[in-house]
Chains A and B, each alone.
Chain A
């Protein structure tokens, strides 16, 4: 970028150019972008490149490296547990959909006149601010045989003998983990949706009420169309999120008893077994899937919203700027 500017003013001396507005601009641009780009390169793009390279080597973090070609990728599909770990993301996908629907329902309620609305909102949102390790302990405690959940269920009339071991029974333990993840994040989704609903023009509700529309009709014809974009975006996003599900199993069960999701397995292979090559191949493989999903999502997203009705168009146009930014963020 600098060369272009320099070429245009080659007749002036360099110091003169530095003092000109153009020169000042170039200096400030370089000064202010250098560190962020250096950090971005060192901690994102350099490791990204290294990771792709590692995936073709048999190696540990220290010691000899041996080029093995596509062997790591072949091993990935033969290794027991890797493919089945990927299947676990289906649980998390379903959990994410439930989470979004629940958040949407609660956000709708909260955006109407509710006594103590702020308190409810705060109580439901707070879990989002708890650190992961604490979450792990809280839910180990919560699900332990005869502890919190079992006690509460016993109050409700269940007998302890009929209750499963929430974290040990393979038929239920993944659901337990998904539930903890929904517990942690639905409040955040809800706050997000409340924000979107609040940005809807108030006069619309008033007009609807004068026309005798009930709450459900208000939801269906006013709220839903105006936040369709952000809801769809979140549902679509949850697909990639589920593929990389990690925290809940990592902190609560450590991936034991068939709860190890793809990244939990990868984490063990990389940092416990130190099979860096294989772990890198796993990471690259999932990244490819995630990219494919993201591209598919973008196409799908545009398809959905190109077919939107004329009414939504004006809203979409208004929000386009914001959405464009958000989409890029994804």
Chain B
């Protein structure tokens, strides 16, 4: 009975039409999403001569021509850039996860005067557009001697990440307080409860936040170019692409290779952690 119903429904003209519209729109939108990136990939494999003579959408003769990638990697000093990005990522992630989980622990588990004040201070901070704030942050960074140092940039990036604090608080809400209470009865200190009991349980949230924050930090370029001005020593992967402005500005086969290199880590992360990224977006929702 239900089977005949299924088939009947699937073959009705309306269902066929809807099916066509459905797949056509998905295909079209995916194509639009891929096109700009695909054109870059195509161009990145072309030799100089090929790039100058063929149309941009003509496929390269040799898909194994990695010369542009090698050249781009060397010209933009990407080895240093990857090293710097790695250092920055490591410390920013470790720092912000520690700070974020600790703050969320306090805000969720303890009632004390000032609890809601702290929450509101963080929420209000999220309202201020980062770009506008840099006008004044710059002066503070100068005073702290943080300009042109990796540690300065790292401390600044660790700062206030409301989204992950929010995700952690939400997660804490789902961890029963009875866990803490029984540990208290056993004589555990609050610090032990945080490190030994709650932190391990928080792992899924920590992974989600690490991925989101990691992608954000890796892609950050505005503050990086503002505060890490010494481009040879302190470039990150994102800012190393600035090498291609100026005299190299029209050599797109080289530029595209650089662009592809810079987005490879994001692509790998995305392929491995698709699920966590989606759930993180859903949990952190509004920002972005």
Contact = CB atoms under 8 A, between A and B. Distances in A.
Given A36-B103, A230-B285, A279 B135 contact: yes
Contacts of B237: 131
Interface residues of A, number: 95
Given A51-B133, A329-B123, A141 B286 contact: no
A258 interface: no
A44 interface: yes
Contacts of A43: 133, 137, 140, 156, 159-160
A125 B256 CA distance: 20
A106 B282 contact: no
Contacts of B144: 42
A308 interface: no
Given A39-B159, A195-B279, A215-B18, A152 B57 contact: yes
Contact of A328 (B22, B119, B160, B252): B119
Q: How large is the interface on B (under 10, 10 to 19, 20 to 34, 35 or more residues)?
A: 35 or more
A142 B128 contact: no
A185 B33 CA distance: 10
A129 B219 contact: yes
Nearest to B258: A137
A230 B158 CA distance: 29
Contacts of B129: 244, 246, 263, 286-287, 290
A24 B142 CA distance: 38
Given A47-B140, A109-B22, A142-B36, A133 B221 contact: yes
B159 A123 contact: no
B249 to A, nearest CB: 9
B253 to A, nearest CB: 10
B110 to A, nearest CB: 6
A48 interface: yes
A132 B23 CA distance: 30
A248 B218 CA distance: 18
Contact of B121 (A40, A134, A142): A40
A201 interface: no
A130 B219 contact: yes
B150 to A, nearest CB: 17
A50 B123 contact: no
Contact of B282 (A51, A61, A191, A215): A191
19 contacts: A32-B102, A32-B105, A43-B160, A44-B133, A50-B140, A61-B139, A102-B29, A114-B26, A122-B270, A129-B215, A133-B242, A137-B255, A138-B36, A183-B32, A196-B282, A279-B135, A286-B129, A325-B169, A329-B166
